[in-house]
Structure 1
Amino acid sequence: MKKVMFMACAVVLSTAACAKPLENAKLSINKNNIKVWTYQDNQNPVFMYKAETTLNVPIEQAVALILNIDHAVSWVPYLSQVKMLSRDDKKGEFQLYMVLDFPFPLKDRDLVVQGKMTKDAQGIITIQNKAIKKNYLQNSQNVRLTHYEGDWTFQKLGPQKVKVSTSGFANPEGSIPLSVSNMFVQQQPYQMLQKMKTELAKATVVSSLPESLK
């Protein structure tokens, strides 16, 4: 079975900075029950983001979609390839290799993600991810990203309702216009949560979760 922990889908068009609370956050998008906030570090002109929505599905079903890397390319924006490198279901730890499709003439980006899944005493499930320096499949055709962090958070609101939040940042490397970066940082998480809703509407079976989340 190839189902495994999935990354906090990378928005790779923002500039790396230390993860901070939402300071001076701006509500950039608020429609279709999806909210996207963008904010900036004092020394960083490019946006970071947080997005959230509520879904009328069991929490297990929402988490299972994120954990299914076989299906990820069909709904995660800009993701062209993802491969599981290692996993430990008991510890909730994993490594993934990802390729992100950038528009011509930019080179595609790739990265290796180290992830950790946890469930707290209140039942909130969190998937935390960061890029690590690893030479797996590194070649001149792609630009390797080494500064990325992101997360997913799932909070059960009822038997058939869950609050889903995602946030992140990355250093895209290379030369990308600031206006283009900021546009994608606002739009990508909105598109991602919209597609997530569509995929969950198709689902009929709730998959079991890894041992670390039970």
Structure 2
Amino acid sequence: MEAFRDAIRSVMSGSSDDQQLDCVLMASVQKQLTEVADAVASVWPLAALSDPERRECAKTSAVKQFLAKSIVYDDVRNSIEADAYFVMEGRCTCLQRLRVRKTTEYGRNYFTLIRDHDRNSQSNLDLNKNVQTVYVKMTDLRPGSVFGLGERCSGRIVIATTDVKCLLVPLAFLAKHNTSNIWGRTVCSLNGTNPTAEQSFRKFVVENRWAEYKKSLADDLFRKRRP
């Protein structure tokens, strides 16, 4: 779309000829359609679709680029979208967003995971005390990876590790062309391999305790070396 807008600005600033404008716009649209069609043809099992089905896919899909360190997908921001993301180029990191409550007893930190039903409960209005948001790394996403198919994604956020290019395909199209339930089986596979929020929370607790232990050990060694 950026190339499309650039083409419009270029023509509008250089000429007022409507026919020339139409030609440039048509060329820009055709270039984008070709880029999407090439992306569709490079993704299995989309590449196995018939020619008419691939053309339909290209017309309804889009190729989107993301700069390094930018947000590719956020379950809150993208919840109203209905697209699956196929990573074409670059690498992403998938993180789990957690809300945790921190308490300290006898100099040691303890954490409690706050779930959605806890936040919505009227009997837990004090949960905002000592509450923090943490992010736990789940997995790396490379070319060939897919997400946003309908897998479990509450609290998930995807960050571009490098510059990233993704093919966005409407879920409605995938549901229409779901031979051998390939997408349903992919969702089951993603749910089976991606850690749950509870598993990510346990990882966070272990990492936090390990960091505390290393700090305590370093402090003890420093004190012993002091004259």
State the TM bucket, normalised to the shorter chain: under 0.3
Structure having greater relative contact order (Cα 8 Å, sep ≥ 6): 1
TM-score by length of 1: 0.23
Greater strand proportion: 1
Greater helix proportion: 2
Larger radius of gyration: 2
TM-score by length of 2: 0.23
